[in-house]
Structures are given as C-alpha cells and as structure tokens.
Structure 1
Amino acid sequence: MHEHQIERARHVTTRLSGFAGPAVLGLSPWTPVGLRDPGWMPRIETLTDVATWLTVTALGLCLVAGVQHLVAFQAAGPRLRGQQRRRSIRRRPEPVAGSGCPVPHGSSEPRPRARRRVASTEVDRGEAEEFLRLFHAENPEAGPVEARLEAVLREIDATGTYWHTAEELAFGARVAWRNNARCIGRLYWRSLQVRDLRTVGDAEGVATHCFGHLRAAGNGGKIRPMISVFAPEAPGRPAPRIWNEQLIRYAGYELPDGRVLGDPRYVELTRELVRRGWRPPLARGAFDVLPLVVETAAEGPRMFPLPAEAVHEVELEHPELPWFRDLRLRWHAVPVISNSRLVIGGVSYPTAPFNGWYMGTEIGARNLGDKDRYDLVPEVARRMGLDTSREATLWRDRALVELNRAVLHSYQAAGVAITDHHTESVRFLTHVEREERAGRSCPADWSWIVPPMSGSQTPVFHRYYDTAEQRPAFVTDPDAAQRGLLGAPRAFG
C-alpha cells in the first residue's frame, strides 16, 4: 500500500514537471515541449506573466515534494518507531545514586541542571482516595473504606492535608518499595521495617535519629531493610531536607595536580561543606566520611559529624591476591538513600531515608570501578600483570571481575550481608512471578534492573518489562539531586 502511494506521487511529479519548461513570450507553456495547446492554459504575453507562471510552477513542485516526503515517512513510520522503541529499552543511561532502591546498583549520573521546582503542599483528593482504596483492598481487616475516606476528605478540606494512620504509613512505605521500577531487590518488600518519626522536624532530631537508623539497620552485619519517616510536608509547615545522597558518603579532595583523593563524585559538595565550616581530618584520606547536612526552614543547613560507631565499614581483601590489601580499600556496610521523597496518597515526606543491603556490583563495578569514581580497574590490572596495551586483551573485564570478587569475599568474611548480581537477578524474577500471581503489574526499568557486569549472563536481561509509574512511590526531585552533588541550591531561602 505504501509503495503504491509513493508511485502515485512520482506520477504526479512527472506530470507537473512539464509545466516547468522555459516559456517564450507570446507562446503557450505547452509549445516548447512539442505538445498541442489544450486551450485552457493562459498565454504568456509579458514579463509579469513569466514571473507569475514561474512562481505557480515552483509552488506546485514544492507541494509535490512535500507529498512524496509525507508518503515515504508514513511507509517507514512503523520501522522507525520500532527502532526507537528498541533503543529506549536497550540503552543504559548513567544511573542515579538516589534511585529509590534499597539494593542499589547505580551510582553515577550526569550533573543535574539547575532547575527550581516548587511542589504544592496541598494534597490531591484523588490521590488520597486512590491510596485509601488500595490500602483497604489489600488489608481487608481494616474494614470498609467509606468511613475512613469520608474522614480524610473532610480533613483535606479543612487543613489541605491529612495524617496517615501508623498502618497506612507502613503499608505505603512498603508499597513504594514494591513499585520502584529501578530496584532489583524488591522480593523482600514486606519485610521493610518502618520507623514512624513524623513528629520530628528539627535538624538535630533528624540527625540523631538518622544515626540511630544506621545502628539499627546495620544490626552487626545482619542488615535489616528499614525506613525512617520524618515530618511530612504540609501547608504552612515545610518539612526538613537531607542534602546527602546517602547517609554515608566519602569526601573528594581535588589535589594541585588535578587528581582527586577520595570520591570524585563529591568534590564540589566537599568544597562547599568546607566553605561552610567542616574541617576534614588533618591526614586526609580516600575514605573520609562527610558530615550529614540537614536543612530546615527555621534553622537553615546544619552539619552533623557521623559518630564512628554508626559507620560500619568493611576492609577489602582478595581471596587469592595478597597484594590487594595494600590498596587499603574499604566501603561502608549499609547503603541508606537519604535524598528521595516518599509520596503516599498525595502526602509528601521529603525526608525518609531507607536501606536494604548492597549488591556487590554496586561497590565493585560502580563505586570503585567507574572512571568518574575511584577508577581502580587500571591499577588492579597493573598489579595483576595484565597486558593493558590494547583493549582486545580484555584486561578491563578481567580486572573488574577480581575487584568484584574481592568485594563479595570481604563482606562475607566480615559477616556483613551482601548479594551477588546473579542471585539477585533470579530473586527479582521470583518477585515478578509473585506479583503476577497476585494480579499486580510489576514496573521495572530494564536499563536499571540489568546488572552493570555480565548483564547477558543474568536472566533479567532476556525480557521486557512494564515501566508504568505507580504510587505510592519514591521520587528524587531535581533540586534534591543537585544538593546531593553540589550543596546547592538551598531548600529554603
């Protein structure tokens, strides 16, 4: 059908091109091409007639060319859309550290653009109703939804917001994890422990409870999935914010020769915190823990050093390479994402740090292996004696595997919970099957679910997923993402 349309357009072009021949004054335009004047064409008598005829002819040719392009585009449309869809599914963007995944595997992203976003604190009645109906549908013991819905709508009309029950809060936080399309570790979403701290809104209180979160979640290495939910956003009552992407992040110091000591991702944040009064250790190192920054509308940004006992770290060694200890590497045990906003039934909780446990590739392949992070792959390859003179020796791949082996070995030897990307991929598909049996869709972003190492060797690689956004959800606002990297813009003022 499309080929037929193209051929018709070509035929029309051929016919109209006969009008484009050079005209002679006093003659019909048909004369120069040896055709008999059909009688209906105007004769060309003056230069004005010539100009008019040339203009009409040019417009006709442009129209025909447009028709040809339109028909060709329609014919190729399905193929182009299919290619675009495949690219959107298969392309791996740089992941976001604050992904909203308690088992994160991405840790690098392009610098976010400076963009102010002012979110309304008025609760949407439709979102509130949708959540309440979901809560009562999945929790029949809560009884009929009508009475609770009526009370909530009255509260919204009176105050612009409403207060979740403890049961609604816990359910909403767990379902936000269940709905997170970027998280591979959702099999245990029901086990998320919820700390209800909604009455805490001052900076010191937030910091103190965050340190308590680290201790409780760390649990001596037997890590507990946990979330601490602080004061919600409400009309006239702005909620506190945490600047840090995670509660534990390492400083990055730019050296005079342009190199970076520590984590290059946080060079600008480190510089800003030093400007604000933070004093790094006298002997600066590659793993200096940054202070926690909590900002409130009343107090502005305040910095709190993390207590040593709240920071559980693992020293890295390799099971077969003794020299690996000489690299003096370590990483922290509990990945607590701290700059994502939890949204439940229209109510926004900007400060709701949460964690699961690490997947090994998050540390080995990304934090330690990425070129724009610690970039340790070349050094490991050099110490292994690999041929790095050309890429075809696959020295990067071999060194990366050993770096990840060291991470898994060290955490397991230290008794700290961690998972490998093959095991976690199988668990994720188990989660998908359970959700389908429960009659629920399981949103998943392919580019995030597939691990950053040996992706095609994992079962999650070989299928497509539903990417529809669902609520409740974890959201990382542009301003929050920027504060986690740059220390600006401030949330208030």
Structure 2
Amino acid sequence: MFRVSGDAPDSVFSGNASASQPTRRLRVVRPSSARSAPPVDMAEAEEFLRLFHAENRESGSLQQRLDRMRYEVDTIGTYRHSQQELTFGAQVAWRNSARCIGRLYWRSLKVRDLRDVHTASGVAAHCVQHLRMATNNGKIRPVISVFPPETPQRPAPRIWNEQLVRYAGYQRPDGTVLGDPRYVRFTEAVLSFGWQPPLRRTAFDALPLVVETVDEGPHMFALPPEVIEEVPVTHPELPWFAELGLRWHAVPVISHMRLNIGGVPYPAAPFNGWYMGTEIGARNFGDSDRYNLVPLVAERLGLDTSREDTLWRDRALVELNRAVLHSYQQAGVTITDHHTESKRFLTHLAKEEAAGRKCPVDWSWIVPPMSGSQTPVFHRYYDEDHQRPNFYIDEDATHRALNGGPPRFA
C-alpha cells in the first residue's frame, strides 16, 4: 500500500533477539563505495522550515530557526533537524509521495530517530526491530527508521536491499528460476560473498541484508527467521490452492529509497505501510517476469488457454488475488483491497484540497494493476506537481539491489 518504490508497483513475531544482537554477521563483502553529500541547498532548507512552522504554530520563532540553519550550513555545509522536524518531514514525505495510494494515513507514521546509529551491525539490528514493531501481531503499523544523513563530512549508512524482506532467485541450468527472478543477480552476488541458503532451497528463501558504512564497507546479515512473518496462501473455495505451497511476507518495508527533508538526504530510511492485495496477487505473483503464476492457476482451474479471447488470464488473476486477500485475513494480518483503498484515496484527496494543499499523483501508479476502470481513482485527472519533502528512487541503491554489485559511481 505504501507504494513509492521502484519495486513491483505495488510495499506476529516470536523470539527474543535484542536490538543489539538480532542478526548474524556473515562477512565483509567488498571495500566501501560510500560517498559524501554536497552542501545543503539553503533555499530548499528554508522552504522546509517555513512549511514546518506554518503547520506547527507552537514551534517557536521561525526567524531564529532560519538564522541557526543558515549558520550551520555556512559553517559545515548542512544542518541538523530537531526531533519534531524529522518526524514532520518524514510524515509529509509520505503525504507528498505521488505513487502511493495509502496516503490517507500519513499522520500515523511512526518515526524512529536513529541518526546516531553509524555501524553496520547497529543498522541491521534496528532493521530487525523495525520488522517486529511494524508487524505488531499482524495489525501492521506504518513505521520509518531514519538512520544518519549524508553530509559533506561523512557518507551515510546505506542498505543494498530493495526491501528488508525479499526472496532469493536461483538460476537453474535449464534457464528456469526457483524463487523470484527479479533477484537472481543479487542472489548470485550474495552467494559469492559467502551467504549460505537453506540446505533445501525453496521459492521463498529470505535474502540476507547487506548494509554498507564508510568505515566498515558492506556487510551481510542473516535476518532471524522469527522476525519474518509469512502468510501461507490458500483459497476460500479451492482446496488445491494450498498444494501450490505459496506464501508471502507480512510487511513490505521499502529500504532502497532516499528520504530528503529540507535538502538533507537520508539514504537509509526503511519504511512501510501494509500490503494492498494486488501488490502480491497481481504483481509479485502475477507478473510474467516475477513468479508468473497466472498460467499455472489457469491450468489448475481447467481454463482454455489456447486463445486469449477466453480471458483465461483475467479469470486466473482474480482467483489468485482472492486467495491472497483471503489468506491474509485468515492469518489476522492487515491487508486492503484495491477497491476499498481507491475510495479511501479519494477521501485523502478531498482532505488535502480542503486544507488548501496540492496532492501530487502519478496516475499510472495510483490506478490498481487489475480492474482499474472499476475503481474511482481511474476516472479523473490529478495534480502532477512535485512536492517536498519526498522520497526518491536511489538509482545506485537500485543497481546494487538488482545486481549485487557496487554502485555505478564506484
């Protein structure tokens, strides 16, 4: 539902791993390729601080805050956000995310201030805590964990993975893939770095986290199995669906996007909402370059796949999506359907307009990937103006996530 990433358009734990020891460090994989940030654009910083004070009247003197910011930027090339500014900035970045249909809940985003965590093991530990907090016994909570910003003096920690939980893709000799084809190259890379997958490989083996810092370089960390809540996929009417052995993780924590607040970049700021069913059923399971399950489901349904005009793809896709929604509901894990969320998005749009704010929208992402014309978000035009603060696709992080190699600037 928190759809802003370059991933497929989409976004109860047990155990007692502590925040300091949640993962098993596997090994350093290669020298650091981190970089520092250029000086902060003072105009962008001023724009944000004026917005913050306009929407937070009790926050004190705007002029004093601007003077302090200008002094810091003149002195060290950047400035430090207060806790309140960080929280507001992260929430408004969600409010401004043109690709996300779930923005009605932007004020509910829990912001974790982790700007003093500089080690790879510390970042990985708090990513595990993020998963625990966000899952919340199945009642998914929107959470963002904000690690140190990039500054002119020091590169920031970076997370290579697109999401904290993603599944491996194993290339077979015959060219087919066991698992997620999107992550074949990343899987090959972490295997070469020393990652050991389960002895019995499956289509749903969680990949390790790769966290990079300027002092340590990239390190791999195995996520504790108890923090990866997964939902087995069954169907309300078709018993054979369970035989497919499908499952998916409960929380989509996007981890390869760069949060920018008032000109200050935060490259490591994993965040989550909860899933909209089509993100899993229509895209992760349905796309031909992902798990490509539509032909298999159509075959099990006994549909005529010899001609496209039988609409076998549409019929199979609907049952696949019904299975996903049914399974999450049965497991007590928060999920939403595309019809309900489309109506809620228009509620959000009306609230923003009533508040005198523009609501930027990328139509191609807001309209669901199935039955689009049956949802109210399909039948209107939107404001496309970019708003700040915001989240930005980090092309270097995406390159690492999909290729398992150093960023292109290295």
Match of 2:261 among 315, 340, 344: 344
* Cα deviation code 1:48-76 (max 9, x no counterpart): xxxxxxxxxxxxxxxxxxxxxxxxxxxxx
Q: Distance in 2 between matches of 1:309 and 1:478?
A: 31
Deviation at 1:490? 3.8
Consecutive unaligned residues in structure 1, runs of 5 or more = 1-95, 108-115
Match of 1:292 in 2: 209
Note if 1:106 corresponds to 2:30: no
Match of 2:165 among 237, 241, 248: 248
Alignment CA distance shift 1:119-1:459 (3 Å):
farther
Alignment CA distance shift 1:448-1:119 (3 Å):
farther
Does the Cα contact within 8 Å between 1:252 and 1:266 map onto a contact in 2? yes
Deviation at 1:396? 0.4
Note if 1:387 corresponds to 2:293: no
Match of 1:177 in 2: 94
Deviation at 1:117? 12
The structure whose Rg is larger is 1
**1:247 counterpart letter in structure 2:** L
Does the Cα contact within 8 Å between 1:316 and 1:410 map onto a contact in 2? yes
Q: Distance in 2 between matches of 1:120 and 1:408?
A: 43
Consecutive unaligned residues in structure 2, runs of 5 or more = 12-32
Q: Where in structure 2 are the equivalents of 1:295-334 lying within 5 Å?
A: 295-334=212-251
Match of 1:128 in 2: 45
Match of 1:412 in 2: 329
What is the number of residues matched between the two proteins?
A: 388
Give the 4+ runs in structure 1 shifted more than 4 A: 116-119
Does the Cα contact within 8 Å between 1:339 and 1:476 map onto a contact in 2? yes
CA RMSD of aligned residues (A): 1.8
* Cα deviation code 1:271-294 (max 9, x no counterpart): 011011111111110000000000
Match of 2:369 in 1: 452
Q: Distance in 1 between matches of 2:390 and 2:35?
A: 19
Report the 3-state secondary structure (helix = DSSP H, G, I; strand = E; otherwise coil) of the residue aligned with 1:304.
Answer: strand
Q: Distance in 2 between matches of 1:213 and 1:256?
A: 37
Match of 2:151 in 1: 234
Deviation at 1:121? 2.9
**1:253 counterpart letter in structure 2:** Y
State the TM-score, normalizing by the size of structure 2: 0.92
* Cα deviation code 1:87-137 (max 9, x no counterpart): xxxxxxxxx986289xx8439xxxxxxxx9977431111011110000000
Does the Cα contact within 8 Å between 2:282 and 2:321 map onto a contact in 1? yes
Note if 1:160 corresponds to 2:77: yes
Report the 3-state secondary structure (helix = DSSP H, G, I; strand = E; otherwise coil) of the residue aligned with 1:302.
Answer: strand
Match of 2:314 in 1: 397
Match of 1:4 in 2: none
Does the Cα contact within 8 Å between 1:105 and 1:359 map onto a contact in 2? no
Report the 3-state secondary structure (helix = DSSP H, G, I; strand = E; otherwise coil) of the residue aligned with 1:141.
Answer: coil
**1:410 counterpart letter in structure 2:** S
**1:99 counterpart letter in structure 2:** S
**Which structure is higher in helix share?**
1
**Which structure is higher in strand share?**
2
Does the Cα contact within 8 Å between 1:297 and 1:492 map onto a contact in 2? no
Q: Distance in 2 between matches of 1:127 and 1:166?
A: 19
Report the 3-state secondary structure (helix = DSSP H, G, I; strand = E; otherwise coil) of the residue aligned with 1:303.
Answer: strand
Report the 3-state secondary structure (helix = DSSP H, G, I; strand = E; otherwise coil) of the residue aligned with 2:299.
Answer: helix
Match of 2:191 in 1: 274
Structure with larger RCO (C-alpha < 8 A, sep 6+): 2
State the TM-score, normalizing by the size of structure 1: 0.77
Q: Distance in 1 between matches of 2:225 and 2:193?
A: 22
Report the 3-state secondary structure (helix = DSSP H, G, I; strand = E; otherwise coil) of the residue aligned with 2:58.
Answer: helix
Match of 1:478 in 2: 395
Does the Cα contact within 8 Å between 2:144 and 2:271 map onto a contact in 1? yes
Q: Distance in 1 between matches of 2:366 and 2:96?
A: 13
Deviation at 1:489? 2.3
Alignment CA distance shift 1:354-1:300 (3 Å):
same
Q: Distance in 2 between matches of 1:452 and 1:242?
A: 28
Deviation at 1:488? 2.1
Report the 3-state secondary structure (helix = DSSP H, G, I; strand = E; otherwise coil) of the residue aligned with 2:400.
Answer: helix
* Cα deviation code 1:254-273 (max 9, x no counterpart): 11111100000000000011
Deviation at 1:492? 8.3
